[in-house]
């Protein structure tokens, strides 16, 4: 067992640091995503034991709702690891045959988009951080009366965490509730910023044209942060080798980065997070070690009437509420999960995309130190969600651009239904 783990570590080092990897058509051309499909809970336990210290890239861990595990493996890793799975009676099949090809598709269309300039923002494309910032500056100058920029904080590498506030101060009471939506806390989940940007754009472009969106804008102050981890996001645009980066970019001894969704100060690093700085779920040297996470938490604490929070991820199609750190359910679970049910029903009506809903630990796995837990547990925000967007693994993090708009439209339907649900429930509690 020890030799097995040591071998993986050697492979990991050579892959992630680019040593001895010379491939003709791109660094990930020999990589496949393999789906392992445990048939019962003892299979899941075996699988978790086999992969506990493996250093290949896990795209999806087994969860309560879906025991499958997706792992990205080089040819060498497949030769070593797949026989181990077979020996242990674990079934598997290829989900993505050529990771590099999907990266090439995303990158070539993204490059075409950039060569055409950003005057007319193309919501159906993936965009760099600079392009997203340019869009934010542009759209807030067009809709000056109800949109403005805010700067949450500065990242480790010095980039702004720039957000978009949408609010119509001329309508409604001065103490309107605040609604926070953030994307891109995990760098490689590109569909997240793309969807958050799309939804903010629709809320501004369709104001006065779409009665429900108009009501949503009038009833809440919206704080929208498309890219919560700008260093990580920029890094995923650097080259193909960096495309699947997840964490922040702060140096952590021999490795880089902290998982910014395991770094929040509630039951920090107790479960579902790693103390190994090289792990993709590294919780950091201490809670709030990452300036991005600390900055967002400070900013949220300064929003006096924050009632709703959504942290947008991909992939798996899940709409989740606290707790993440334990399978126990919080006091107002039924109220929060009722919102998830309303949201996912509305989402499914659009194109038939099916989501599951429940608590984070209940349908995913125990994961402490997440933003949704902290916002609910520490700030007492009654509606706190973590959402995993499309898909269920056919493309995973490399979702093609032709799915951006459908994902945007259906997610906006979900948010639109959720807004009304939350507003009615806030009214109810205010009236008590």
- Residues annotated as catalytic are 388
**Which is closer to Zn ion, CB of 61 or CB of 288?**
61
Query: What tokens were used for 18?
Result: 């680019």
Q: Report the nearest approach of Zn ion to the CB of residue 426 (Å).
A: 28
Binding-site ranges for Zn ion (CB under 5 A): 186, 313
User: Going by DSSP bridges, is the β-strand pair 383-389/306-314 parallel, antiparallel, or unpaired?
Assistant: parallel
Q: Is the dihedral of CA 116, 161, 155, 14 positive or negative?
A: negative
Closest to Zn ion by CB, 38 vs 260, is 260
C-beta of 228 vs 250, nearer to Zn ion: 228
Q: How far is the CB of 314 from Zn ion (least distance, A)?
A: 7
Task: Please provide the distance, in angstroms rounded to a whole number, between the alpha carbons at the two ends of the chain.
Answer: 60
Minimum distance, C-beta of residue 237 to Zn ion, in the bound complex (Å) = 17
Nearer CB in complex with Zn ion: 125/313: 313
Distance of closest approach, residue 30 Cβ to Zn ion, in angstroms: 26
Cα 185 from Cα 248, distance rounded (Å): 9
Give the number of other Cβ atoms within 10 Å of residue 159's Cβ. 20
Between residues 44 and 372, which has the closer beta carbon with respect to Zn ion? 372
The CB-of-409 to Zn ion minimum distance in angstroms stands at 21
Contact 59, 33 (CB under 8 A): yes
Instruction: Convert the chain into a string of H (helix), E (strand) and C (coil).
Output: CHHHHHHHHHHHHHHHCCCCCCCCCCCCCCCEEEEEECCCHHHHHHHHHHHCCCCCEEEECCCCCCCCEEEEECHHHHHHHHHHHHHCCCEEEEEECCHHHHHHHHHHHHHHHHHCCCCCCCCCCCCCHHHHHHHHHHHHHHCCCCEEEEEEEECCCCCEEEEEEECCCCCCCCCCCEEEEECCCCCCCCHHHHHHHHHHHHHHHCCCCCHHHHHHHHHCEEEEECCCCHHHHHHHCCCHHHCCCCCCCCEECCEECCCCCCCCCCCCCCCCCECCCCCCCECCCCCCCCHHHHHHHHHHHCCCCEEEEEEEEECCCEEEECCCCCCCCCCCHHHHHHHHHHHHHHHHHHHCCCCEEEEHHHHHCCCCCCHHHHHHHCCCCCEEEEEEECCCCCCHHHCCHHHHHHHHHHHHHHHHHHHHHHHHHHHHHHHC
Nearer Cβ to Zn ion (55/370) = 370
Could you tell me how far CA 294 lies from the centroid of its own chain?
Answer: 18
Considering the complex, what minimum distance in angstroms separates the CB of residue 312 from Zn ion?
Answer: 9
Q: Which is nearer to Zn ion, 308 or 360 (CB)?
A: 360
Q: Are strands 147-154 and 251-252 parallel, antiparallel or unpaired?
A: unpaired
Nearer to Zn ion, 92 or 315 (CB): 315
Nearest approach in angstroms of CB 168 to Zn ion is 32
Q: In 10 A of CB 244, how many CB atoms?
A: 20
Q: Which is nearer to Zn ion, 147 or 389 (CB)?
A: 389
Smallest distance from Zn ion to CB 324, Å: 12
Query: Least Å distance between CB 313 and Zn ion?
Result: 3
């Amino acid at each position: 067992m020890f030799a097995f783990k040591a071998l993986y570590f050697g492979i990991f080092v050579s892959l992630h640091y680019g040593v001895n990897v010379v491939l003709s058509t791109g660094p990930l051309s020999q990589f496949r995503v393999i789906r392992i499909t445990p048939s019962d809970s003892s299979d899941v336990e075996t699988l978790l034991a086999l992969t506990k210290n493996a250093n290949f890239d896990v795209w999806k861990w087994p969860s309560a709702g879906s025991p499958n595990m997706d792992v990205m493996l080089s040819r060498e890793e497949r030769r070593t690891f797949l026989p181990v799975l077979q020996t242990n009676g674990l079934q598997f099949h290829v989900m993505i045959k050529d990771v590099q090809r999907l990266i090439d598709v995303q990158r070539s269309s993204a490059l075409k988009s950039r060569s055409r300039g950003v005057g007319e923002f193309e919501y159906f494309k993936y965009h760099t951080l600079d392009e997203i910032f340019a869009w934010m500056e542009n759209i807030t100058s067009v809709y000056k009366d109800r949109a403005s920029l805010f700067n949450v904080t500065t990242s480790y590498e010095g980039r702004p965490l720039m957000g978009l506030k949408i609010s119509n101060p001329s309508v409604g009471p001065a103490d309107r509730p605040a609604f926070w939506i953030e994307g891109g806390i995990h760098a490689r989940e590109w569909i997240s910023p793309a969807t958050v940007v799309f939804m903010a754009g629709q809320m501004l472009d369709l104001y006065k044209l779409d009665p429900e969106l108009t009501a949503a804008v009038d009833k809440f102050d919206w704080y929208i942060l498309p890219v919560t981890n700008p260093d990580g996001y920029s890094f995923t645009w650097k080259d193909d080798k960096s495309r699947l980066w997840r964490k922040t970019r702060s140096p952590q001894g021999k490795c880089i980065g902290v998982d910014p969704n395991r770094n929040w100060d509630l039951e920090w690093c107790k479960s579902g997070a790693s103390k190994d700085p090289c792990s993709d779920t590294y919780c950091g040297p201490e809670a709030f070690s990452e300036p991005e996470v600390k900055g967002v938490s400070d900013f949220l604490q300064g929003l006096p009437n924050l009632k709703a929070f959504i942290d947008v991820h991909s992939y798996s199609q899940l709409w989740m509420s606290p707790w993440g750190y334990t399978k126990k359910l919080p006091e107002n679970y039924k109220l929060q999960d009722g919102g998830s049910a309303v949201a996912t029903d509305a989402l499914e009506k659009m194109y038939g995309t099916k989501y599951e809903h429940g608590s984070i630990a209940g349908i995913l796995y125990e994961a402490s130190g997440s933003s949704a837990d902290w916002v609910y547990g520490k700030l007492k925000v009654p509606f706190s969600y973590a959402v995993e967007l499309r898909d269920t693994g056919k493309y995973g993090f490399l979702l093609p651009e032709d799915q951006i708009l459908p994902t945007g439209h259906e997610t906006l339907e979900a948010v639109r239904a959720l807004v009304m649900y939350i507003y009615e429930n806030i009214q109810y509690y205010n009236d008590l």
